[in-house]
Structure 1
Amino acid sequence: MTQQPKVLIFDSGVGGLSVYKEIVARLPQLDYYYLFDNAAYPYGELERQTLIERVERLVSAMVAKLKIDLVVIACNTASTIVLPKLRAILSIPVVGVVPAIKPASSLANKAVGLIATPATVQREYTHDLIRDFSQNKPVEMLGLTRLVDIAEEKLRGKSVCIEEMTQLLEPLIGKVDVAVLGCTHFPLIKEEIQSVLTEQVMLVDSGLAIARRVQELLAVEFGQGERGKREIYSSATPWQEDALNSALSKLGFSPVRPFPLEI
């Protein structure tokens, strides 16, 4: 039996599972390993150099330990800072995520909304994307840390308060016709965001584009072969671990395993 490629998906929390879902829908035969650095969650509050060092050491250790063939950095904050360094030290492909400003701008008639973390909204990289790809469409930026927590809570079975979501998203209501989900956590609460912004607003994220890029880089067939491995690791004991493991089992993962690393 031919060994399937091994893919590592990395994030500070469970947001990268939205990217995993898109990739596994196309390529269920691959072996997937997910690592979330919850010991340092949320990444948006870390100093730049601290973030670079953590991601470099964690990802490098996992790549060596599991003989990974491709890495997906499923975190906008980390991607905008760490990708050049990771690509310099690893000999395998590293795929990152960036806010889908370019496709959103081509779809918008009125204005684009960017829903992201405060760190992503403030980052120079994001402003460069807007300058390069959305010159003719205004971009309304909304930085929300609370939405990240809501997505983490929803995955563990907590219902989402639509009234709170409406208050959080109020600055965009009625002002945009396309909204970019600029954090990998946000597709996990896509239905709730859609209900608040209404069906007239198109929601755009990077998940499908990443899945296509992974398939292209690994040169594998769409959905061919038996189902691969699904393992998930964390850098600290997850909160509400039992509820999290229940949700993860539905995605095909075994229970979360500790990945101790002194950093």
Structure 2
Amino acid sequence: MHQPLLFFDSGVGGLSILDVVRKRLPTAPIVYCADNAGYPYGARTEAELTARVPALLGRLTERHNPRLIVIACNTASVIALADVRAALDVPVVGTVPAIKPAASLTRTGVIGVLGTAVTVRQPYVDRLAAEFAADKRVLRHGARARRGGRGQTARGDAGPRRDPRSAHAAFAQDAALDTVVLACTHFPLLADELTAAAPHPVAWVDSADGIARRVAHLTQGQGWPDTPSAGTAVFTRLDESAQALGPALAERGLMQIKGL
């Protein structure tokens, strides 16, 4: 009953996934891990992530014995999801660009995919587009990191942030674009900035609702505590920046902060 759900991201963008899962499973024990020592994943090679992510999740699984793992990071999922599933005897839910719901939502047939450069170029994304949006035009943009250091706010921002404004010129080239897939879990935490940066009104689509439904389905019938318990946030580098996120983490029930 007290086995936790384990959420994993390179930073704290995965909190946008946790927020939605919490609404469906409000008493589920939670462990949230941010690999801030490896952040940002968008600057790492595929080979680095294929080695790093399964190894870290193996250590976390040994330590926390989760009933299910959510890789709450598009970049890690499109590169390392298969390797993690092969390495661990635990159900694993990945976060991949929400191209399927976007294809159903668009009225013009033009979809944008906004993520890290390494995410949007992956063959996994090619397959999603071919399977679910073959009759649509899919524009991709890898948002660059914003200069100016690391930031922490009540929204849960951490690390050199991806700049949604960098998509403006790319997406402004096609006035028919009406739906944009947020292929980085950090972006839903920046909803106001995204809306302000858009060249014209668009619908934003992310994977959080689909992941929450999947987690609820995979854990259906399993026992949960009657009341919420204090969750744990784990950082691969427990430094002052991680400690400064305490208020944003506490808002989500993550009362304990630890190092891996």
TM range (shorter): 0.7 to 0.9
* Aligned amino acid, residue 128 of structure 1: R
1:4/1:29 contact within 8 Å kept: no
Give 3-state SS (helix, strand or coil) of 2:233's partner.
Answer: strand
Residue 104 of structure 1, aligned match among 94, 99, 102? 102
State the shift of 1:29 in Å. Answer: 0.8
Identity in percent? 35
Give 3-state SS (helix, strand or coil) of 1:139's partner.
Answer: strand
Structure 1 segment 34-49 matched on structure 2, within 5 A: 34-49=32-47
1:176 alignment counterpart = 177
State the shift of 1:127 in Å. Answer: 1.6
2:87 alignment counterpart = 89
| CA shift in 2, pair 1:143/1:203, >3 Å | same
1:113/1:180 contact within 8 Å kept: yes
2: CA distance, partners of 1:99 / 1:157:
20
1:75/1:97 contact within 8 Å kept: yes
Q: Deviations over 1:49-94 (max 9, x none)?
A: 3212221121111111111110001111111121222212222100
Structure 1 segment 77-226 matched on structure 2, within 5 A: 77-110=75-108, 111-146=110-145, 153-154=152-153, 155=155, 165-166=164-165, 168-173=167-172, 174-197=175-198, 200-220=201-221, 225-226=226-227
For structure 2, the 5+ residue unaligned runs are none
- Give TM-score scaled by structure 2 length: 0.87
State the shift of 1:149 in Å. Answer: 8.9
* Aligned amino acid, residue 214 of structure 2: R
1:10/1:16 contact within 8 Å kept: yes
2: CA distance, partners of 1:42 / 1:100:
21
| CA shift in 2, pair 1:68/1:224, >3 Å | closer
2: CA distance, partners of 1:137 / 1:151:
37
* Aligned amino acid, residue 81 of structure 1: I
State the shift of 1:19 in Å. Answer: 0.6
2: CA distance, partners of 1:235 / 1:157:
17
State the shift of 1:148 in Å. Answer: 11
1:181/1:203 contact within 8 Å kept: yes
2:28/2:225 contact within 8 Å kept: no
2:235 alignment counterpart = 234
State the shift of 1:253 in Å. Answer: 1.3
State the shift of 1:5 in Å. Answer: 3.8
Give 3-state SS (helix, strand or coil) of 2:120's partner.
Answer: helix
Give 3-state SS (helix, strand or coil) of 1:13's partner.
Answer: coil
* Aligned amino acid, residue 15 of structure 2: L
1: CA distance, partners of 2:223 / 2:192:
27
* Aligned amino acid, residue 10 of structure 1: F
Give 3-state SS (helix, strand or coil) of 1:38's partner.
Answer: coil
Structure 1 runs of 4+ aligned residues shifted over 6 Å read: 147-151, 221-224
Give 3-state SS (helix, strand or coil) of 1:41's partner.
Answer: coil
2: CA distance, partners of 1:250 / 1:43:
25
Matched length: 252
Give 3-state SS (helix, strand or coil) of 1:233's partner.
Answer: strand
